[in-house]
Structure 1
Amino acid sequence: MNVPPNAPTAALAWSRPLIRALIALNLLYAAGVLLMFVLSLIPGTILWDALGMLFPAEHRGRIVFGLRTIMIVGIAAAGVVDRVLRQLLAIVDTVRAGDPFVAGNARRLEAIAWWVLLGEGLRLLIGAIALATTSSMPELDLDLHFSAAPWLAVLLLFVLARVFAEGARMRSDLEGTV
């Protein structure tokens, strides 16, 4: 089958609407967490009862504080995800236009790497908050583990950003010699 070199693939055709949908879902997530945070400020146990969460009286204050803090960090994490998705959308647009090796994409990939690094930091912060909040509750089993995958992804993104920057530079040099 002969396919023109710049013909969009099925994955490329679906990428823009998929990323847009993910942006919308992420916004809904952030709104949901914000709503939970606001409901958690209402005196009484309306939110905790709705979620089926029963806290021992001696730990209630610390657990509620920890959960509220995690909600705030979760909203910040949604902002990080939004930045990553919007940078990725801009990269997809340049690929669809047939011009991916531009300096702007190198900057976008580097920005994505920094955002992913920040997101992983926020994930670790949430784990630390959860651990500190529940440390005196042995009956609660938290699955807090380290994963090398996000850190490798950050490294890969920085390398890929450099590859794109070099590709854009070489392209500019080539255009200058023609």
Structure 2
Amino acid sequence: MLSFSRWVVSALLILNVLVGVPLLAVLGYSFVAEPKFLETLGRLNPGRDLDLLLLSARWILAIVAPVMLFAHILLRRLQAILQTVRDGEPFAPANAERLRLVAWCLLAIQFCDLGFGFAATTFDTVAGERTSGWSPGITGWVAVLLVFVLARVFREGSRLRDEAELTI
């Protein structure tokens, strides 16, 4: 299972780039070819506020950059944690800090999701139809709390392990 987990995290790191970079390229292209984007939006959404649609679409695409960064940091820390588990040292003090950073990254991604939701809802409202499928959720927020708690557990576990080693 550990090998599979390591493979999945490595695949997710690659997927993060393979999905994110093209979306950021579309964002850049939306500035270079703005008239073409407005024309396409106009064909798809006749009679709508095209400037607001384009602005909303750009915000949706712009949110990709910080999410990519936070996901990259999170996945690299998970790789490091999995390596310590493989080495037989899961309660290393560094893992507590890694988990804490993972929790902060998850929290940042949750805030990005709220920004995405605002932009997507604006786009849906202006377009006159629900295309984004976004809705607020509690699961990610609970995961943030869970990982912060786990980081604390790891910190205490590594402290207790270190104390036990000193008494032997």
**TM-score when scaled to structure 2?**
0.89
State the match for 1:62 in structure 2: 52
State the match for 1:148 in structure 2: 138
State the match for 2:35 in structure 1: 44
Which residue identity is paired with 2:59? T
Query: Distance in 2 between the 1:119 and 1:163 partners?
Result: 23
State the match for 1:88 in structure 2: 78
Give the stretch that moved more between structures: 145-154 or 165-174. 145-154
Task: Determine whether 1:105 maps to 2:91.
Answer: no
Query: Distance in 1 between the 2:78 and 2:160 partners?
Result: 23
**Over the residues paired in the alignment, what is the CA RMSD in angstroms?**
2.1
Identity %: 34
Task: Determine whether 1:34 maps to 2:24.
Answer: yes
Relative to structure 1, the CA distance from residue 137 to residue 95 in structure 2 (aligned partners, 3 Å threshold; closer, same or farther) is same
Task: Determine whether 1:161 maps to 2:151.
Answer: yes
Contact 1:91 1:108 in 2 (8 A): yes
1:131 positional shift: 1.9
* Bigger share in helix: 2
Query: Distance in 2 between the 1:117 and 1:46 partners?
Result: 33
**TM-score when scaled to structure 1?**
0.84
Please give the per-residue CA displacement for 1:34-93, whole angstroms capped at 9, x wherever unaligned: 1111221214326985x9x72335411111111111111112111111111111101000
Query: Distance in 1 between the 2:51 and 2:121 partners?
Result: 15
User: Which structure 2 segments of 5+ residues have no match?
Assistant: none
State the match for 1:5 in structure 2: none
Query: Distance in 1 between the 2:39 and 2:153 partners?
Result: 49
Q: 1:74 aligns with which of 64, 70, 74?
A: 64
Query: Distance in 1 between the 2:20 and 2:75 partners?
Result: 14
